């Protein structure tokens, strides 16, 4: 059974005049896949990601995540699923500015009720994994973009989620750092077997993933199996 199963998802925004953003999305993503969703701005890819991340709801269709139907959840249930099943990586990092790196990484565990000492230990462990130990007590504004994104990745990983959703994870980074971040995601996918879904409009980023799902005007277009990227030789590298 697929980890993520979308059947005929429709979503319309009603701001003034109705805007039909997603027009019947069908999507299967298996456990351990490294997928990118690619499309131009306005294609509905961000809306799709928000629905996958249970940050937004959909109008019709079904969304099953790891065998659980995600529909008509209360805010409380949604928060709980997000916390336990999904890790987010955002374009603008979304770290809390008045918390240090380690405090930011700890936060998801705080909402799980993990004791302070335990979550501090775990956060330090993840920061070490990402080579950020010296930066543990620095505030976000004392770190570079790449470091901030790695803190965000550590925060996404700490709850051991089923999937990681990355919304333009390299959008705010220079090309060298972008490569590093994508390599990191790839490594996490390969070594830890974490399912990762990246939303992007850059083909260079998409090319780093195993499967590229093209979305256009709210409909899934071509699904491209990408098997030629192992040598880290995508356009991004040049």
Partner 1 sequence: MRIEFIHEVASSLRNNKLRTALTGFAVSWGIFLLILLLGAGNGLMNSFGGNVGDYISETIAVEGWYTTKPYRGYKDNRRIQLDQKDLEYTTGPEWEGTIYRVTTSTSSTSATLVLNQSSVGGWLTGAMPAHKDQFKVKLAAGRFINDKDLQERRKVMVISKAQAKELVQGEPETLIGQWVKAGSVAMQVVGIYHTDEQEFRRSCYIPYTTYKTIFDTSDKIAAINFSVNGPSTLEEHKAFQDKYTATLKNMHDVAPDDEYAIWVRNSYTENMQMARAQHIMSIAMWILGLLTLISGIAGVSNIMLITVKERTHEFGIRKAIGAKPGSILRLIIGESVFITTLFGYAGMVIGMIACQIMDKTVGQESVDIGITKIRMLVDPTVGLDVALEATLLLIIAGTIAGVIPAWKAARVKPIEALRAD
Q: Which residues bind partner 1 (CB under 8 A)?
A: 50, 53, 55-56, 75-76, 79-80, 82-84, 88, 90, 94-99, 103, 107-108, 110-113, 115-116, 155, 159
Q: Shortest gap between Cβ of 83 and partner 1 (angstroms)? A: 2
Q: Shortest gap between Cβ of 123 and partner 1 (angstroms)? A: 13
Task: Choose among 142, 186, 137, 146: nearest CA to 170.
Answer: 146
Q: 15 vs 17, which CB is nearer to partner 1?
A: 15
Q: Shortest gap between Cβ of 12 and partner 1 (angstroms)? A: 15
How does DSSP classify residue 229?
Answer: -
Q: Shortest gap between Cβ of 33 and partner 1 (angstroms)? A: 22
Question: What is the rounded end-to-end Cα distance, in angstroms, of the chain?
Answer: 39
H-run or E-run covering 6: strand 4-15
Q: Where are the alpha helices (DSSP H) in 27-85?
A: 45-52, 75-85
Q: 28 vs 160, which CB is nearer to partner 1?
A: 160
CA angle 59, 60, 64 (to 5 degrees): 105
Q: 2 vs 55, which CB is nearer to partner 1?
A: 55
Q: Shortest gap between Cβ of 117 and partner 1 (angstroms)? A: 11
Q: 40 vs 96, which CB is nearer to partner 1?
A: 96
Q: Shortest gap between Cβ of 149 and partner 1 (angstroms)? A: 14
Q: 110 vs 232, which CB is nearer to partner 1?
A: 110
CA distance 81 to 79: 6
Q: 117 vs 228, which CB is nearer to partner 1?
A: 117
CA distance 227 to 42: 28
Other CB atoms within 10 A of residue 220 CB: 21
| Assigned token pair, 172 | 């705010």
Q: Which residues pair with 200 in a beta bridge?
A: 38
């Amino acid at each position: 059974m697929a980890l993520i199963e979308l059947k005929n998802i429709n979503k319309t925004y009603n701001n003034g005049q109705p805007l039909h953003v997603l027009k019947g999305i069908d999507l299967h993503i298996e456990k351990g896949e490294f997928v990118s969703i690619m499309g131009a701005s306005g294609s509905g890819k961000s809306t799709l990601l928000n629905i996958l991340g249970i940050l937004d709801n959909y109008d019709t269709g079904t969304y099953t995540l790891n065998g659980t139907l995600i529909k008509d959840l209360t805010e409380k249930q949604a928060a709980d699923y997000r916390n336990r099943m999904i890790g987010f990586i955002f374009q603008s990092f979304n770290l809390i500015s008045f918390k240090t790196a380690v405090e930011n990484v700890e936060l998801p565990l705080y909402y799980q009720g993990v004791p302070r000492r335990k979550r501090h230990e775990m956060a330090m462990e993840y920061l070490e994994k990402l080579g950020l130990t010296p930066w543990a007590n620095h505030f976000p504004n004392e770190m570079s973009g790449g470091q901030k994104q790695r803190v965000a990745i550590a925060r996404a990983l700490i709850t051991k989620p089923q999937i990681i959703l990355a919304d333009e994870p390299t959008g705010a980074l220079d090309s060298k750092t972008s490569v590093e971040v994508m390599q990191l995601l790839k490594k996490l996918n390969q070594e830890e077997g974490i399912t990762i879904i990246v939303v992007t409009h850059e083909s260079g980023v998409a090319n780093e993933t195993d499967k590229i799902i093209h979305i256009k005007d709210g409909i899934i277009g071509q699904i491209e199996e990408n098997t030629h990227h192992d040598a880290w030789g995508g356009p991004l590298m040049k």
